[in-house]
Amino acid sequence: MAVSLTPVRSPIGTWTIEACANGICEIHMPGRRLPARKGEGELHAQKAKRQLEEYFAGQRKKFALQRCAVQTSEFRHSVWRAIDDIPFGHTRTYGEVAAAIGHPLAFRAVGTANGNNPWPIITPCHRVVASSGLGGYGGGVAVKRFLLELEGITKY
């Protein structure tokens, strides 16, 4: 099955949407150069591109995209579902996410699951912050700060 690779330009660099016939497989953060390619996921990729461009333009707060199934633990799926529930313009700490999924002491494991999120922005892992402040981000702290500020969050 040939995947589509579709670039999306943003003020903080070019993201790449990887999609197949079943939906969005992964969103690659800026800094990773992947060649554009059309494949069976082109319709999903183009829909995601439009929605991400709307997000970066301040016109979209929620995403309506089909995601590919990911083989991973139920724990990680529960973390990603909890992250999906964080509203635009709000944050949660790793500890709050851990408590929300019924594992209040698993904040480090939540951080690991958050860091392995295949759909950044769509599953808004940037909205998860450390109890002591911003915390890390796979795309770098500057990218996380930009995304939070795009949503009107200036205190973390």
Global confidence as pTM: 0.93
At 36, the pLDDT band (50, 70, 90 cuts) reads confident
Residue 69 within any structural domain of the chain:
no
96 and 35 share a domain? no
Active site residue 20: no
C-beta separation of 137 from 143 below 8 A: yes
82 and 146 share a domain? yes
Q: Which of 56, 83, 98 is the last residue of a domain?
A: 56
Instruction: Work out the number of other CB atoms within 10 angstroms of the CB of residue 52.
Output: 22
Residue 128 within any structural domain of the chain:
yes
142 and 78 share a domain? yes
Q: Looking at residue 119, what DSSP letter applies?
A: S
Q: Number of structural domains, the chain?
A: 2
78 and 141 share a domain? yes
CATH of the domain at 104: 1.10.10.10
Rounded to 10 deg, the angle between the 107-115 and 74-84 helix axes is: 80
Q: Which member of 20, 25, 68, 125 is catalytic?
A: 125
Give the model confidence (pLDDT) of 81-112 as tens digits: 999 999 999 999 999 999 999 999 999 999 99
Pairing of strands 4-10, 13-20: antiparallel
Report the DSSP beta bridge partners of residue 18.
Answer: 5, 26
51 and 94 share a domain? no
pLDDT of residue 35: 83
96 and 145 share a domain? yes
52 and 78 share a domain? no
Domain that includes residue 24, residue range: 4-56
